[in-house]
Each structure stands twice: as structure tokens, then as C-alpha cells.
Amino acid sequence: MLLDPVDWGLAQLFDTIEPRLSPELASTLSAETHRAAAEFKTSAHARAADVAAELADLQRWLTDELADVGLAAAGSGTHPFSTWEETEVSHGRRYRYVHETMRELARREPTYALHVHVAVPDPELAVAAANRLRAHLPVLLALSANSPFWQGRDSGMASARTPIFQAFPRVGIPRQWSDYGDYVERLETLVACGAFPDPSFVWWDLRLQPALGTVEVRVMDAQSEIDRTAALAAVVQALVRLEALEGYAAPELVGALELLEENRFIAARDGVDAELLDPVARRAVPVREVVERLLEAARPHAADLAAEAELDAIDGLLAEPAAALQRELAGPEHDLRRLVAALAERFSSSRRSEAADRPPARSAAPRRSP
């Protein structure tokens, strides 16, 4: 989120300042629906640690260039005290279309998410993995929940971003797909009927990206610290591999969309303190217990992906949940400007590589995020 350090409110200026950024940095950024949001696009990496290293470089680099134009940046699922009256929609054609079709819903407060792509070499395998991965989306949301404040008050939620974004159509947990042809046919029908111009206007918590050959997980809040992003990227990567190769998730949960949707709400409300519905055990199970079992199953895959250290960092997300940390930073008086200043400091102090003064190395050509 782009910030004005004078009052720590949102700066509705990305399309204005983008031409003033260095071309190398600008190539790593995309506009979003709201002018106070920008999206980083990292290169493709085999290891979560390498994603984190590149992102740390990019965050520090952006901080330096924003400082030159009197702005700052931070990561969070929501801005703690912005309101819809202040929100401006980006000027690009895509975002004008969003405003035309969503009307004033497009001017709700901006939300900020973490999207992780995992390459899967075969489309049928990708569908099978995605179907089963749906069972884990509430767990990933609980681990990432980082947006307790909304419109200047404590929402009581761990992730207020989730219900705010739910106002858009084509969001939430998708249904199962029988095969890749089923997935393509359903989306092609919607496009052919004029529901939207192309599949990038589907904003499910999880979707396939055929152009990239990836399963894209989109359920998580944006994080305020690189270590948390790395941990979440590692667990997503390991879980995709686990479900693609082993089919770990219980069929009773995979096939029960109503249970998954209920768990999604509970996770957004309670974060890592949530108790998720388990149709096999016929009871509600604490997220911490679910995570313990899930990490045990995923650990061999994390080892094959050289991501054991990042997977172990999930313990830190359980011990110090991001939403609880935001409340602590705001203090008992709910000083939300102090909170945003602290989030900006965490963003700007991201670890840098040894070659801190050169542009980050990129292993693939920049791509516009759909």
C-alpha cells in the first residue's frame, strides 16, 4: 500500500508516480484496481528462500525511490483507517471496466493480498492438486490473517480483508472440477456469454493459470514482513506438491463446499485461534492441531524443495499471529497512525542481498500479473 508519511493515510498516486520510478523497478510493479495499491511481481524461483531474497531487494529499492517523491509503502491486508470516500480507482482500461461493471463496489476500501504461483507440469495433475488444495485454503487464510482494523476501528476479525473483498463476484473457494477440460469449458462459456472479457477477471481463492502453467493460491492476506511471506510461500509450494503426488486431503472435506466455506469464515474471524470443522472427526479442531498434522505430511516435500527452514518458520506465525501483532503495535489506545508508521518501518527494513546497490537479478522476463 502506498502511504503519505505526513499522516500515514493512503496515497492515491500509483499511476502518477509510476513514470517517475526507474524503469527496472517499474517493470516489477503492476497497477491494481485502486490507485493506492501496487503489486510486486517476482521472478519464478525454485526455492522460497530465493523469492524472499528478491522480494526483500524490491521492497528496499521501492522504499528508496518512494522517499525521493515523499511517499512510503507497507504491507497489510487492509489499511487500518482508510474509508471508501478517499478511494480512487486506477485509470487503466482494465480498472475502468471494473468500475463500470462493479459500480461503487469498486470504490470500497482497497484490500491487499499475497498470491503464490506453483508450477505444475501437467494440466490434469494441476486440476487434481487444486481440487484437493481447496481443503487447506482456510488454514492458509488463518496463518496469514493480517487485517484486524477496518475504517479506523478494530473489526474483531483477524482478516477483515476477506469479507470486504467478498463483495466482488467470482471470489471465494471454487467448486471442484472433473478435469482440465471441465475447467476450461466453464470459463470459456462465461467469457462467450459476456460475463467478463477473460479468465483473469475470476478472483477465486485458488485458480489455474494456463499461460504460466501454475496453480495460483490467492486466499492469503498481504504480509508486513518478508519472513512471513517466505514461510507462507514455502507451505503453499509444499502443499501443492503433497496434493499433486499423494492426495492427502480427506475426500469428505474436499467434497463438502459448505464446510469449506464455513471454515473460511471461521479462519477469517479467528485466525490461528480458529477451530475448523472436521467432517471425519465430527468435531471442530483447533487450527494449531490441523497445522501440526499438515506440516508433518508436507515436510518431506519441503525437504525436496529445499524449503525446510521456511516451513519451520510457520511456528513463528502461530506463536505471534500477524493480526495480534498489529493490535499490539496500535496499543491500548488504538493509535492507528502509529501502527501504519510501524508497518512502513518493517517494510523498509527488509533484508537486502549483498549486492544492495544494484537492481535485483531476475531469472525471468517481467510478466504482468493477471
Instruction: For residue 251, report the phi and psi dihedrals to the nearest 5 degrees.
Output: -55, -30
- How far apart CA 60 and CA 233 sit, in angstroms, is 20
Which tens digit of pLDDT belongs to each residue from 168-207?
Answer: 899 999 999 999 999 999 999 999 999 999 999 999 999 9
Instruction: List C-alpha distances in Å: 27 to 30, 77, 219, 318.
Output: 8, 23, 25, 35
Residue 343 lies in a domain: yes
Domain extent at residue 168: 2-348
200: closest CA among 192, 209, 188? 209
| 208 within 8 A of 327, measured Cβ to Cβ | no
CATH value at residue 254:
3.30.590.20
Q: Is the dihedral of CA 286, 287, 292, 293 positive or negative?
A: positive
The pLDDT score that the predictor gives to residue 247 is 97
Counting Cα atoms < 13 Å in the Cβ hemisphere of 80 gives: 28
pLDDT, residue 105, reads 81
Indicate whether 362 belongs to any domain: no
The per-residue pLDDT for 350 is 72
pLDDT score of 108 = 85
The answer to the question of residue 370 being in a domain is no
CA distance 297 to 290: 11
Q: Is residue 353 part of a domain?
A: no
What pLDDT is attached to residue 106? Answer: 81
Does 281 reside within a domain?
yes
Residue-level pLDDT at 369: 31
Question: How many domains is the chain built from?
Answer: 1
C-alpha dist (Å) from residue 20 to 40, 68, 85, 302: 17, 10, 27, 40
pLDDT, tens digit only, all 370 positions of the chain: 999 999 999 999 999 999 999 999 999 999 999 999 999 999 999 999 999 999 999 999 999 999 999 999 999 999 999 998 888 999 888 988 888 988 888 888 899 999 999 999 999 999 999 999 999 999 999 999 999 999 999 999 999 999 999 988 999 999 999 999 999 999 999 999 999 999 999 999 999 999 999 999 999 999 999 999 999 999 999 999 999 999 999 999 999 999 999 999 999 999 999 999 999 999 999 999 999 999 999 999 999 999 999 999 999 999 999 999 999 999 999 999 999 999 999 999 875 333 334 344 444 433 333 2
pLDDT of residue 41: 96
Is 366 within the bounds of a domain?
no
Give the C-alpha separation, 107 to 112, whole Å: 14
Angle at which helix 137-144 crosses helix 226-245, to 10 degrees, equals: 170
Residue 369 lies in a domain: no
Which residues, at least 6 apart from 290, have a Cβ–Cβ distance to it below 8 Å?
Answer: 139, 276, 278
- Burial of residue 178 (CB within 10 Å: 0-12, 13-18, 19+) is exposed
pLDDT tens sequence across 59-75: 999 999 999 999 999 99
CB within 8 A of 98, min separation 6: which ones?
Answer: 33, 89, 106
Residue 59 lies in a domain: yes
